[in-house]
Amino acid sequence: MAEIQAMARRGFIAIHPVEGAINELSGLCKFPAGWTAYGFRVPAGEKIHIRLRHPNEGWFRLIMVNKWGGLDQGMLQNLIPTGNPEVTFTNPTRETQNVHVIVDDPGWMSSKANPFTLKITRSWDPGKHPMDGMPIVTGIWAEKSKAPKGSPASAENAEPSKG
């Protein structure tokens, strides 16, 4: 099964765009890859925090990346483990930024009967803040990484997006 999962972790990771008014969503990771991804838009100077909840949340991790699958300013604090499946992004620029959160579920703990929940906390009121900028990409590409095991890049060494 580990070999099947490793082979499934190559290729396209679909991004599910999350509208600004959504503060909580439930989901599951596809079998056999064990991951899924969500896209968020963050206005200039604002902050977003995403926290995963699940009865077996120790099996999960969240990885925040840009559309190229790498790290940007404003997300480097995610390299410091908190002991919880959570990520934050503070937009340091003067324009809206898109960020992508990959939910990694290598133990296949999420299912239709037992989905994970993402709690989204924003520093801005989505109803009062117009969004400008590019649309969220449809996906990122993942390849087997040469990054050290456990590093943020180890699950995906992304190529440019196809969206």
pTM of the shown model:
0.77
DSSP three-state, residue 59:
helix
DSSP three-state, residue 78:
helix
CA-nearest of 20, 40, 135 to 89 is 40
Phi, psi of 2 (to 5 degrees): -65, -40
Q: Tens-of-pLDDT digits for all 163 residues of the chain?
A: 666 656 655 667 788 999 888 999 999 988 777 889 999 999 999 999 999 999 988 889 999 998 888 888 999 899 888 889 999 999 999 988 999 999 988 888 899 999 999 999 999 988 777 665 556 766 665 554 444 444 444 333 333 333 3
CA-nearest of 84, 49, 83 to 64 is 49
The vertex-136 CA angle with 84 and 37, nearest 5°, equals 35
The vertex-56 CA angle with 51 and 59, nearest 5°, equals 80
